Structure 1
Amino acid sequence: MLKEERQQEILEILNAEHKVIASDLSKRLGVSEDTIRRDLKELDIQGLVKRVHSGALRLGPPVEDFSTRQNISSEVKINLALKALEYIKDDMVLLIDGGTTNLHLVNQMPLTLNATIITNSPPIAMALSNHKNIEVIMIGGTLFKESMVNLGIDTVETLNTMRADLYIMGIYKIDPHIGISVPSITEALVKRKMVSISTEVLGMVTSNKLDTISNHIVCPSNHLTYLITEHVHPEIKGLYANQGIIVMD
């Protein structure tokens, strides 16, 4: 098998199984572990996989700006949002950060909902302008244009004075062993603070984000109370359910 063929096979296995172990690939492909490690290093340099100790993980969706992501998998995101509505009740204090799936959720909220919503996302605050029974508290900071959220020390200091019944976290990447992660350390710090001030945490995740990692860890995945995703393999679902997370797919 040529190197290019072998690396393509690795990518196909990774796409199907979400993670690979070098020793296992060595046996399956009939080459040495050193060869597999070199393959994984090359694939990592090309931006096709994320190397970890003993193997590699899927990279998941590429980093794209907010306006581009709005039109990706919109039907799937709406379905996730409709499932999440079951956990939102009148008189709750909701904390909602950025993300296109979170924006779809806000757009699906009934106009009769009575709630207080805290957000650091200008698009979400604007989407709530027609909800007369929702008090919107906008958290300031420096606008991170890629995700369209306010971040920084001012954001964290404001969050220190607040409590929420439910935090609806925009999830960039999640792995059951490594946790929830994002590309920006500042965004990781703000999300971590949001987790700490909330009684429960809910995340809506499209399947291409499962078992993927980014550069900065927000928190372990078991900090989630609810994980709402698409139909996934029972084994993958079990990895999260075994951590005490309520998984809906």
Structure 2
Amino acid sequence: MLKRERHQYIMNKFQEVEKINTIDLAQELKISEDTIRRDFNELNNKGLINKVYGAAFLVKDKPNNVFDIKIINEDRKIIVGQKALSFLSEGQVIIMSGGTTNLSFCKLIPIDFSATIYTYSLPIAMQLSQHPNIELIFIGGKLQKKAMVTIGIDVIQVLSKIKADICFLGVSSLDLNQGLTEMGYEVSVVKKEMIKASGKVVALTTSDKINGKMMHKVCGLEQLHAVITDLNPNSPKIKSFVDAGLNVF
């Protein structure tokens, strides 16, 4: 079992129990206790669990972020974020859109990860500011107070000059025929420019946003390198997307 799979197994196990013992889990997975301790240490450093001597507990009452934003379905968004980590590489130039799924993803990024990240999301910028090896560029502009993201011509002008390796795109709605759609026109325009500026576009979405449509189109599915969800790729809800040739994780 790969490390990423073990971490997912541990987080899933906390849906059934409140405490996991190091020895019991090592026997269950038929691996060494030292391996389990390293896994616990990494999950503890990411703020997902509380590690104690010989065991670990799930973190339940942690602050969401510096703005105390309530993250709905955070457990699902953590699953999405854990899958998205495999798309990170040292030294990348990254564009990060707003949204609480991307915010949950940012909380999981290793503290020593090195990259250049552009974002127009104030909460995400504050979260990433804790990473000493990330060169963080916050794209200023008119602040949309509800979503805490910047919009407008200033944002578009900055994005038009960027050549990014990858864009992690938050999703409001995803439909097989309509692709990605947004409720707000200005945000849809910003996201279109993010896509133009990026070599790869990876959409992060929870299952409740799949098969939905909003007023303003962002892009078609053919413009996405991959879609990451909290579902198993064999789930009936996303079978049509897989059948259409989309990379779904």
TM-score (norm 2): 0.69
Q: Could you tell me whether the CA contact under 8 Å between 1:222 and 1:240 is conserved in 2?
A: no
Q: Could you tell me whether the CA contact under 8 Å between 2:77 and 2:230 is conserved in 1?
A: no
User: Match of 1:147, SS?
Assistant: coil
Deviation at 1:92, TM superposition (A): 0.5
Corresponding residue number in structure 1 for 2:116: 116
Structure with bigger RCO (C-alpha 8 Å, 6+ apart): 1
Deviation at 1:208, TM superposition (A): 0.9
Corresponding residue number in structure 1 for 2:176: 176
Deviation at 1:182, TM superposition (A): 0.7
Q: Could you tell me whether the CA contact under 8 Å between 1:222 and 1:243 is conserved in 2?
A: no
> Structure 2 vs 1, CA of residues 192 and 159 (structure 1 numbering), >3 Å: closer, same or farther?
same
CA distance in 1, matches of 2:165, 2:116: 10
Is 1:241 matched with 2:247?
no
CA distance in 2, matches of 1:153, 1:243: 35
- Unaligned runs of at least 5 residues, structure 1: 1-66
Q: How many residues align?
A: 182
Corresponding residue number in structure 2 for 1:225: 225
TM-score (norm 1): 0.69
Is 1:132 matched with 2:122?
no
User: Match of 2:169, SS?
Assistant: strand
User: Match of 1:227, SS?
Assistant: strand
Deviation at 1:240, TM superposition (A): 1.9
Give the % identical residues.
34
Corresponding residue number in structure 2 for 1:191: 191
> Structure 2 vs 1, CA of residues 79 and 235 (structure 1 numbering), >3 Å: closer, same or farther?
closer
> Structure 2 vs 1, CA of residues 127 and 141 (structure 1 numbering), >3 Å: closer, same or farther?
same
> Structure 2 vs 1, CA of residues 210 and 68 (structure 1 numbering), >3 Å: closer, same or farther?
farther
Q: Which structure has the greater CA radius of gyration?
A: 1
Task: Name the amino acid aligned to 1:206.
Answer: T
Deviation at 1:187, TM superposition (A): 0.6
Deviation at 1:244, TM superposition (A): 3.3
- Unaligned runs of at least 5 residues, structure 2: 1-66
Q: Could you tell me whether the CA contact under 8 Å between 1:96 and 1:118 is conserved in 2?
A: yes
